[in-house]
Amino acid sequence: MAKAPAHDLVQCDACPVRCRIKVGRIGACDRYANHDGVLARVDPLTFVEKAEASGTRLVPFLSKTEEWNGDIVAPRGDKFITAVGAGTTYPDYKPAPFIVSSQIEGVDMVTVVTEGIFSYCGVKIKIDTDRHLGPEQNTVRCEGEAIGHVTTGEYGSQMLSLGGVNHLTGGSKQEGKVTCQALMDLCNGAAVELAVDDGVTVVVQAGKAPVINGEREERMRVGCGSATIGMFAMQWQGLVDDVVVVDDHITGVLSEHEAGKVLGIAPTGIAINGRRSTPGRYFNVAHPGTGWGGTSISDPLTILRDFDPKVAKPGQSLLMVSTTGENFAYFVLDDALKPVETALPETLRTSVERIKENCEPALCSVLFIGGAGGSLRAGVTENPVQLTRSVKDTLTLVTSGGAPCYVWPGGGITYMVDVTRMPDNSFGYVPTPAIVAPIEFTMRLDDYAALGGHMGAVIPLEKAVAGQGSRSVEQMSQNPWPMASKHFMWGGKTLP
């Protein structure tokens, strides 16, 4: 194959791959292109418009109308520059792509933006379900490749930890490629099918209900079995002799539970398989699974032993229900003290529906987590540790696509962000492989100078807007305005 003439090629320096791109073509990451012999960013630079200053959700625009008067700072409090579409300066031996000044409430501010290249990153996924996805620590796979593991469950939800440097770069080339693609898809709001070793298949999509073994989840559990007893005991009083709320973690029994005792519920002679904890609370009633209450059972009677004949009476009634109200059955003891399933009385149907009503919709939450260390900080300041200290001292606000971030305590700048609060398609990749994610650092202009910032690279917001193709997105209602004075502290006081 004949080589392209040297003047038809540009070499991209945005990542270690250093693609040589022909005129009219794009690089391997789909982020940079050769536009008439000039390396150009493909995606538009994204700005967030303050909610009350914009009437639309998404407004593409090419702004050439605002002239720069030469001042470093120009008042523009209704627009915030994000790093989405800003490009990168890997390995950050030069200033970040955009270091932008603005004036907020009479205070000179600066925002430094860059699309960081993250090998040390991943996603934490919260899946609202009481179904058992798989044993803790078991491998999570995508397209057969290991990309993460099941981690400790939380109240009403199962948790996955995906990505990380060991999967991105520590395994086979295919493992890294699949991991990178899965992380980018999840962060950009796409659905990804995952398989848990010795567990289920689950389709995960940020802000959507999980699909487990082909069935879409409707709701997360209202609480454990004991909590459910506590919440609804009064609604069962006088309508049924006993209630068992089946749950993988803590199964509750009304007549033994403290709530039942307070209400004067008489003992029924019921006996439960499992390990008794405090009265009315049982562990290990069944194996974990996708049945009743996240257990492996489809017949709730399998968790019962024989009733105590010294206490139980023929005709005694029993309601068994799961923690979501999706599974329920009503029994009456016969003359041999054996429970016989009977139609649920209408007087109890309301309480079962109330359990369902109190179960919130099942959703998947995807949080991107990355370590913004290394050379990324050198694009902000000549002395990188000063940026870390400024973040810890709350002098610098960290955002991602304009969305609020949680910055972990301890060393470095390790942050998490809810991807549903970011602009569409905020994430990209480089084929090293690594994830490309936006990050912004906002602070007072004098604080930026004090930490050794690249003051010579500061430009006003108007010049950044006018300098290239860009788009504007309206501030999401759940996001605080990144330039609000309450975010910035000086001597323990907010900005004036």
- pLDDT at residue 66, as a whole number: 45
Please say which residue of 357, 377, 407 terminates a domain: 357
In a shared domain, residues 422 and 343:
no
Rounded average pLDDT over 60-80: 52
Beta-bridge partners for 428: 436
Residues 335 and 439 in one domain: no
Q: Does residue 496 belong to any structural domain of this protein?
A: no
Residue of 307 and 77 predicted with greater confidence: 307
For residue range 74-129, list pLDDT tens digits in order: 445 688 999 999 888 776 678 999 999 998 888 899 999 999 999 999 999 999 99
Alpha-carbon span 397 to 112, nearest angstrom = 10
pLDDT of residue 178: 98
- The Cα angle at residue 223 between residues 219 and 227, in degrees rounded to 5: 155
The pLDDT of residue 68 is above 50: no
Judge whether residue 439 has pLDDT over 50.
yes
Tens of pLDDT, residues 378-417: 999 999 999 999 999 999 999 999 999 999 999 999 999 9
Q: What is the pLDDT of residue 284?
A: 94
Query: Does position 216 have pLDDT exceeding 90, yes or no?
Result: yes
Instruction: Output helix, strand, coil percentages for the chain, rounded to the nearest 5.
Output: 20, 35, 45
* Res 30 pLDDT > 80: no
Q: Would you say residue 272 has pLDDT above 80? A: yes
What pLDDT sits at residue 90?
72
- pLDDT band with cut points at 50, 70 and 90 for residue 309: very high
Pairing assessment for the beta strands 403-404 and 406-407 based on DSSP bridges: unpaired
User: Does residue 268 share a domain with residue 338?
Assistant: yes
CB 83 within 8 A of CB 465: no
Q: Which of 21-30, 137-146, 256-265, 398-407 shows the lowest per-residue confidence on average (mean pLDDT)?
A: 21-30
Q: What is the mean pLDDT of the chain?
A: 89
Please state the domain count of the chain.
3
* 55 and 184 co-located in one domain: yes
* 331 and 438 inside one domain: no
Confidence band of 71 (pLDDT split at 50, 70, 90): low
Does residue 352 sit within a domain?
yes
The pLDDT assigned to 77 comes to 61
- Asked whether residue 209 falls in the same domain as residue 239, the answer is no
- pLDDT at res. 24: 86
Beta bridge partners of 485: none
> Cα separation of 113 and 118, whole Å?
15
Q: Give strand pairing partners of 111.
A: 100, 442
Same-domain status, 230 and 318: yes
Q: What is the pLDDT of residue 35?
A: 83
- pLDDT at residue 266 tops 90: yes
Contacts 24+ apart (CB under 8 A), 56-65: 56/474, 57/473, 57/474, 58/424, 58/471, 58/472, 58/473, 58/474, 59/471, 59/472, 59/473, 59/474, 60/471, 60/472, 61/470, 61/471, 61/472, 62/469, 62/470, 63/465, 63/466, 63/470, 64/466, 65/466
CA distance 325 to 493: 50
pLDDT for the residue numbered 316: 98
Query: Are 27 and 50 found together in one domain?
Result: no
Q: Let me know the angle formed at the C-alpha of 177 by 171 and 180, rounded to the nearest 5 degrees.
A: 100
Burial 404-434 (b: 16+ CB within 10 A, else e): bbebeeeebbbbebbbbbbbebbbbbbbbbb
Q: Which of 357, 375, 401 is the last residue of a domain?
A: 357
Residue range(s) defining the domain that contains residue 429: 45-217+367-490
97 and 17 housed in the same domain: no
346 and 198 fall within a common domain: no
Q: What pLDDT does residue 496 have? A: 55
Q: What is the C-alpha to C-alpha distance for residues 139 and 135, in angstroms, rounded to an integer?
A: 9
pLDDT of residue 61: 35
Residue 301 lies in a domain: yes
Task: Flag whether 251 is in a domain.
Answer: yes
Q: Using pLDDT thresholds of 50, 70 and 90, give the confidence band for residue 1.
A: very low
Q: What is the pLDDT of residue 9?
A: 87
Q: Are 304 and 197 part of one and the same domain? A: no
Last residue of a domain, one of 357, 385, 419: 357
Model confidence over 140-195: pLDDT tens digits?
999 999 999 999 998 889 999 999 999 999 999 999 999 999 999 999 999 999 99
Query: What was the pLDDT predicted at 438?
Result: 96
51 and 33 within one domain: no
Query: Is 473 contained in some domain?
Result: yes
Q: Which of 297, 218, 293 is nearest to 249 (CA)?
A: 293
In this structure, what is the dihedral angle of CA atoms 260, 266, 272, 278, given to the nearest 10 degrees? 40
Q: In this predicted structure, what is the pLDDT of residue 8?
A: 78
Give the whole-angstrom CA distance, residue 371 versus residue 369.
Answer: 7
Closest CA to 368 of 187, 175, 174, 206: 187
In-domain check, residue 495: no
Tell me what pLDDT residue 388 has: 95
Q: Is residue 200 part of a domain?
A: yes
441 located within any domain: yes
The values of phi and psi at residue 248, to 5°, are -65, -30
- The answer to whether 110 and 443 are in contact (CB under 8 A) is yes
Report yes or no: 327 and 245 within 8 Å, Cβ to Cβ: no
